[in-house]
Amino acid sequence: MHLLQERIRKDGRNLGNGILKVDGFINHMVDPVLMDECGKEFGRLFGRLGARLILTAEISGIAPALMAGRSLNLPVVYARKHKPVTMPNKVYLTTAPSHTKGVQVELIVSPEYLPRDTPVLIIDDFLASGETILGLVRLVEAAGANLVGIGALIEKSFEGGRERLKSLNVPIETLVCITSMDDEKFEFAE
């Protein structure tokens, strides 16, 4: 997606160790108009899958997932990293390693919002190692729901996430693909 790629080129920063700083428009300060355009693109890519619900991981997945939900007119469920007081005690919970935090984080969903047999589309900000998305997939499986597709704003293809998700046999769509992050630069797939 040209608009997002140009924004990464302009405002993204390579912090080294494969960490791409995009917090000027995705993670900390968000450009809602850009995110809305990304949501519409997800709408075009996934509109025919019959999803009934979008699942994402807080916090950085929320903006793209919400705008995809707006475009597809679907509810968006955040897997929470901390259990809020309003959540019942019986939950679906898994852990996933956070590349940027260097620790395991919990991903928690209340069963009332992830019903059995629901066709679920997963949307996140990054597809890098695929670990967070695999955590979301485990929640879908624990709930007996049906994964129908996976989308991310930015793929870092050199981290191998797409390979790890291949056996799930669902469409995987990313809006921008970065193929290398050496020497403080980054290169995009054409």
- Least Å from the CB of residue 63 to its own copies: 6
Nearer to its own copies, 46 or 78 (CB): 78
| Among 4, 74, 128, 137, interactor with its own copies by CB under 8 A | 74
The reply to whether 103 sits near its own copies by the rule CB under 8 A is no
Question: Could you say which residues in the range 149-188 bind its own copies, by CB under 8 A?
Answer: none
Beta bridge partners of 146: 119
CA dist list (Å): 152 to 83, 84, 91, 142: 25, 26, 25, 22
- Least Å from the CB of residue 100 to its own copies: 5
Distance CA 54, CA 150 (A): 10
Under DSSP, is residue 20 helix (H, G, I), strand (E, B) or coil? strand
**In sequence order, which residues have a C-beta less than 8 Å from that of residue 148 and are 6 or more positions away?**
49, 50, 51, 119, 120, 121, 170, 171
The tokens describing 189, both together, are 């797939």
Number of chain residues interacting with its own copies (CB under 8 A): 41
Distance CA 51, CA 148 (A): 7
Identify the CA nearest to 125 among candidates 116, 133, 117: 133
| Per-residue binding letters, 1-30, with its own copies (x by CB under 8 A) | --------------x---x-x-xxx-xxxx
| Among 4, 38, 51, 76, interactor with its own copies by CB under 8 A | 76
Nearer to its own copies, 74 or 176 (CB): 74
Nearer to its own copies, 61 or 161 (CB): 61
Binding site for its own copies (CB under 8 A): 15, 19, 21, 23-25, 27-33, 35-36, 58-59, 62-63, 66-67, 69-70, 73-78, 80, 84-87, 100-102, 109-110, 112-113
